[in-house]
Amino acid sequence: MIQVIASVWALLLGMTLIMIGNGMQATLMGVRGAMEGFGTLELSVITSGYFLGFLVGSRVAPDLIRRVGHVRVFAALASFISAGLIAFPILTDPFSWTAIRVVLGFCLSGVYVTAESWLNNQADNQTRGQVLSVYMVAQMAGMIAAQGMMNLGEASGYFLFVIPSILVSLSFAPILLSITPTPAFESTKPMSLRELYVNSPLASVGTLLLGGAFAAQFGMASVYGAAAGLSVPQITGFVAAIFAGSMVCQFPVGWLSDRMDRRLLILGLAGIGAVATTVGVFAGARFEILLALAFVMGGVANPLYALFIAYINDFLEVDDMAAASGGLVFAYGVGAIVGPMATGQMMEIAGPRGFWLFLVVVFAAITLYAGWRMTRRPAVPVDETASYVGVLPTSSPVAVEAAQEWYADQVEEEAEAAAAAEAEAHGDR
């Protein structure tokens, strides 16, 4: 593990700094937007703008990289990100913020595609799973650290917008200076949503719904906190607890995923999420309870994403796994665009508790659908399922496709080992 980290430490450091910057600006939108008098619905549209840009960027960035190369794309998008972060406190109206968020989502998606293609290029078949796991921890650490840095200044001023701009600018130095060969960029044509649904209705529908839940957590948690009357330290603690839950629960969920019917695990996690968010509807603004609920909510939502990927792999041929990742990312992105706006509508109607009501509906829908699907298809034997590896919703299609490549390698190695064991058994006879 130490050798793996040593080989990619600069990339991990750079991506951690980017995640800190991204995490700060996401929380700042809710806190500063409330101070500027933006309505809940306006903030939900601003939030959705980020995910719209992210989805478009994940589709366009590969073409840009093929045309002008990794370094030029990386440097150009970096300049737009830094400029956009500084522009927020200058252009304080909903239309400008929405436009900036679309641009930031597009640029950050392109940066992730570029950096993750470098990261994947520096891993081999033996280390790819470890690299992805370390990368996941770096992402979560960056998001949690971002919430702590939110308390270094006043959200009403300029300072907190400058910090993420500086961090994002600094992040490019270790990444660009550490890169030796520029990887050849190839991406697989995404599987259509129809094909995705045919292969696994549960994974495709679940991923779509989960996109809405994650976007609500990532983008609307600070909006909820401000509407509920929490202080800035409480809001940042609430958001940090969501990502802490994700980090802590990812590995236990992965361990269980390889040892039981994944549909039952999906049902259980979504059911826990439905119960926790139902408690949130009635919890009011009691901070200690909100912290616990945020931890549980993040602990079930983020691992579900990797679980859906692992589940659909159980029904795919090895050659189709990479294509399925593109379809899942698109389904997730569509849900992420709709989720914040639906949350904003519920909060307009029901007040702050509308945040929890939306999440109750999503988790309950996943629970019920998983239960129904269990009656429509027999379970895949545990010894025939593919291995689980943690991939976060904040990753680009490159990281998801890299995870699929790792899955494929594991399947092939297991098949070869089984064939060798059978041949040896016949030989003994």
Q: What are phi and psi of 185, to 5 degrees?
A: -95, 120
How far apart are alpha carbons 66 and 62 in whole angstroms?
Answer: 6
Residue 425 lies in a domain: no
Distance CA 288, CA 258 (A): 34
What b/e string do you get for 38-48 counting C-beta neighbours within 10 Å, with b at 16 or more? bebebbbbbbb
Average pLDDT over residues 204-230: 91
Q: Which residue has the higher pLDDT, 366 or 419?
A: 366
Amino acid at 213: A
Q: Model pTM? A: 0.85
Confirm whether 427 is domain-assigned: no
Kindly state whether residue 428 falls inside one of the protein's structural domains: no
Kindly report, residue by residue over 319-347, the tens digit of the pLDDT.
Answer: 676 677 777 888 888 999 999 999 999 99
Among 257, 254, 220, 253, residue whose Cα is nearest residue 239: 220
Quote the DSSP letter at residue 122.
T
CATH code (residue 79): 1.20.1250.20
Q: How far is CA 89 from CA 43, 104, 185, 200, 222, in A?
A: 15, 15, 37, 45, 17
CB 1 within 8 A of CB 127: no
Specify the pLDDT at position 61.
80
**How far is residue 139's CA from residue 148's CA, in Å, rounded to a whole number?**
15
For residues 150-157, average pLDDT: 87
Going by C-alpha positions, the residue among 189, 147, 161 that lies closest to residue 83 is: 161
What is the identity of the amino acid at 310?
A: A
For residues 62 and 429, give the distance between their C-alpha atoms in angstroms, rounded to a whole number: 54
Exposed e or buried b per residue across 393-424, where buried means at least 16 C-beta atoms within 10 angstroms of its C-beta: bbbbbbbbbbbbbbbbbbbeeeeeeeeeeeee
Q: What is the pLDDT of residues 238-289, one digit of tens each?
A: 999 999 998 888 888 878 887 788 889 999 999 999 999 999 999 888 899 9
The whole domain housing 103 covers: 2-420
Predicted pLDDT at 403: 66
Residue 197 lies in a domain: yes
Contact predicate 223/34, CB 8 Å: yes
Position 150 in a domain: yes
Give, rounded to a whole angstrom, the gap between the first and last alpha carbons of the chain: 41
Residues 115 and 222: their CA atoms lie apart, in Å, by 28
The count of structural domains within the chain is: 1
Banded pLDDT at 385 (limits 50, 70, 90): low
Specify if 33 maps to a domain: yes
In-domain check, residue 413? yes
Instruction: Give residue 426's Cα distance to chain centre.
Output: 47
| Mean pLDDT within 149-172 | 87
pLDDT in tens, 395-417: 666 666 666 666 666 666 666 66
What digits encode the pLDDT tens for the residues 302-315?
888 888 887 887 77
